[in-house]
Each structure stands twice: as C-alpha cells, then as structure tokens.
Amino acid sequence: MRLWYNPASPFARKVRIVARETGLAEGIDEVNTVVSPVKPNAELARENPLIKIPTLAVPGEGTLYDSAVICEYLDSLHPGAPLFPGAGAERWRALRLQALGDGILDAAVLMRYEGVVRPEALRWGDWISGQLEKIRGGLSALDRECAGWGDRFAIGQITAACVLGYLDFRFAEQDWRAPHPALAQWYAGVAQRPSMKATLPQ
C-alpha cells in the first residue's frame, strides 16, 4: 500500500498513528507530499480528484480517501482489538467523537490557510472568529468528555490527540492547556505512545 501524506497534516497523522497502533506501518510506503489548496499536485490529482492528503492506494482495490475511510479500512486488516467498535451505541459514540475531532481540525486547518495562504488584504475577521468559536467549543466538549475515556486509544481518542498535537504545532501561542486541565492531563499521557512520538510534526 502507498500513503500520500504530509508530516504537517493532522488528518494524515491520524492515518499514520492508526497504521502504527495496528502494526500495519511496515506494509505501507509513506510518500511525503507537498500540498497546497492553490497549487494542485499533479501526481496526487491522478489518485484522488480532490487532490487531498491522506490518500491510500491499495493494490488490487484502488484508492481510498479521506482519513476516516482510510483509518476504518486499515482497522479491518489486523487481528487486534478494533479501533472502530463494530456495532451499537459504542460505535456511534466513537464515530461522533471522531467527527468532533475532525470538525475541530477542519476549522484549525482553515485558520492556518487563512493566515499563510490567503493574501492579507482578503482576510475576513468575522470568518476567522467563526472558526475560532468552533475550535473553542470543540475543545470544551473534549475537556468535558475525556474523563470517561479511561485508557482507551481508539479512533475518537486518536483524532482528539491529533487535534491537540496540531494546535501545539501551528497555534502554540493559543495555550489550549490552561482552560482545559483535564484534557491537558490526558494528552500528556497519550503523547508518550510510540505512535504519537513517531508522527510528531516538526
């Protein structure tokens, strides 16, 4: 299998963490890929019409995207404890938590693009405030919920960890820890996992 990723992308990090947590990383050729919403990457465009990372090519099966689909596909390939619960209330809880984390990441990545890609004269303060509101609301929800996670590190928790890693990486000045002490304590623990350390964006 071949994975197009960028080390800065939190969505690609989700997939790379899942690959390592499931013991599948050895079988995946990771291709470090430069992506920009304003400069399409021709090689990636041949694999994924949305020209987005992560994208996973699976021999004999075609190409998979986005991160949620790739993560669930990888989870179907290993014999260990599933990262996506199979059915019932636990599955909906895990998928909802993944969606919460992905939504925070969508807002954070849009904020990042706004700051570094959009010309300064075209920036729109209300739009930026709207994204920040989603990030703040999402972090408060994670902070309230994390006490119930125990030592689980399934798809929802992996996504939450990618959110916090991305905020540290791109928005360190925002200090998400001070208003979210429970989340900060949870993150300090999971950040020590080998899968998290191996994929830490530099």
Q: What residues line the site for ligand BEZ (CB under 6 A)?
A: 6, 8-9, 35, 109, 112, 170
The residue among 143, 53, 150, 57 whose CA lies nearest residue 104 is 143
Minimum distance of ligand BEZ from residue 93's CB (angstroms):
27
Q: Which is nearer to ligand BEZ, 149 or 169 (CB)?
A: 169
How many C-beta neighbours within 10 Å does residue 40 have? 10
Q: How far is the CB of 127 from ligand BEZ (least distance, A)?
A: 18
Minimal distance, residue 169 CB to ligand BEZ, in Å: 7
Q: Which is nearer to ligand BEZ, 108 or 196 (CB)?
A: 108
Nearer Cβ to ligand BEZ, position 1 or 109? 109
Q: How far apart are CA 48 and CA 195, in angstroms?
A: 26
Q: How far is the CB of 141 from ligand BEZ (least distance, A)?
A: 22
**Quick one: three-class SS letters along 131-170?**
HHHHHHHHHHHHHHHHHHHCCCCCHHHHHHHHHHHHHHHH
* CA 156 – CA 154 distance, rounded (Å): 6
Rounded Cα distance between 105 and 95, Å, is 15
**Closer residue to ligand BEZ (CB): 6 or 41:** 6
